[in-house]
Structure 1
């Protein structure tokens, strides 16, 4: 089964892609494969997050 991963960091000092390896390992541990990754640095308080809306 394929899943999609959404990675977000809320400030410029944070890096949303840091969690990528942990998410890939989590998916593999549960018999899943990540088919697509959506990564952005945007505040969670904002609704206009393009990657979230994909």
Structure 2
């Protein structure tokens, strides 16, 4: 019975760590998506300059 509180704290710590990693991963994906969107906005500008030439 003495080990049970220890197991509960370990489980809680594990859940908190996994949640933090998951949130960080989601934020990284959003950042990558925003970078891709910026690149997509830059590509039409390049096409316009090529067509003008």
Q: Same fold per TM (> 0.5)?
A: no
Q: TM-score, normalised by structure 1?
A: 0.29
User: As a proportion of its length, which structure holds more helix?
Assistant: 2
TM-score, normalised relative to structure 2: 0.29
Structure of larger gyration radius: 2
Larger RCO (CA under 8 A, 6+ residues apart) = 1
